[in-house]
C-alpha cells in the first residue's frame, strides 16, 4: 500500500484587467504607484530611475517595468474583449495577513 500526501491551497485568481497598478517603494518609505495601462511620453520611460523625494537611485531591475508596461498594454485589448482569457493565480497562505 502506498501513502499519498495531499495538500490543499487557497488560490486567488486575478484578471488582467484587475492587475492594473504597480507600486515601487523606496528605502526612504516613499511609495510610487503607477498605472500599467498608461503609455509613457515618447521621451520618457514608464519606470522611474530614482525616487522623486530623496533622489535615491532605484535598483536597475526596476527598468524591467518598462517591458511589463509594453506587454500589459499590448494584452489589454485582448482582456477587454474577453476578461478571463488571461488571469494570474496567487497562492494564499493561511497565515497571511489581510
pLDDT of residue 95: 58
Q: How many domains would you assign to the chain? A: 1
- Pairwise CA distance, residues 89 & 83, whole Å: 14
Confirm whether 77 is domain-assigned: yes
- Pairwise CA distance, residues 60 & 24, whole Å: 13
14-23, 31-40, 63-72: which has the minimum mean pLDDT?
A: 14-23
Confirm whether 73 is domain-assigned: yes
Confirm whether 84 is domain-assigned: yes
Query: Is the pLDDT at 96 greater than 60, yes or no?
Result: no
Domain residue limits at 70: 19-91
Query: Is the pLDDT at 7 greater than 70, yes or no?
Result: no
| Residue 5 vs residue 74, higher pLDDT | 74
Confirm whether 53 is domain-assigned: yes
How far CA 98 is from CA of 25, 70, 94, in Å, comes to 19, 30, 10
pLDDT of residue 16: 78
54-83 confidence digits (pLDDT tens): 999 999 999 999 999 999 888 888 777 776
- Pairwise CA distance, residues 59 & 63, whole Å: 8
Of the candidates 58, 28, 26, 29, which has an alpha carbon nearest to the alpha carbon of residue 45? Answer: 58
Confirm whether 67 is domain-assigned: yes
Amino acid at each position: 500500500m502506498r501513502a499519498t500526501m495531499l495538500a490543499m491551497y487557497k488560490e486567488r485568481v486575478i484578471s488582467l484587467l484587475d492587475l492594473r497598478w504597480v507600486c515601487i517603494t523606496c528605502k526612504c518609505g516613499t511609495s510610487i504607484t503607477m498605472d500599467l495601462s498608461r503609455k509613457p511620453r515618447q521621451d520618457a520611460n514608464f519606470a522611474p530611475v530614482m525616487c522623486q523625494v530623496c533622489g535615491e537611485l532605484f535598483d536597475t531591475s526596476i527598468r524591467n517595468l518598462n517591458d511589463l508596461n509594453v506587454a500589459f498594454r499590448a494584452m489589454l485589448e485582448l482582456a477587454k474583449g474577453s476578461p478571463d482569457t488571461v488571469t494570474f493565480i496567487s497562492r494564499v497562505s493561511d497565515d497571511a495577513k489581510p
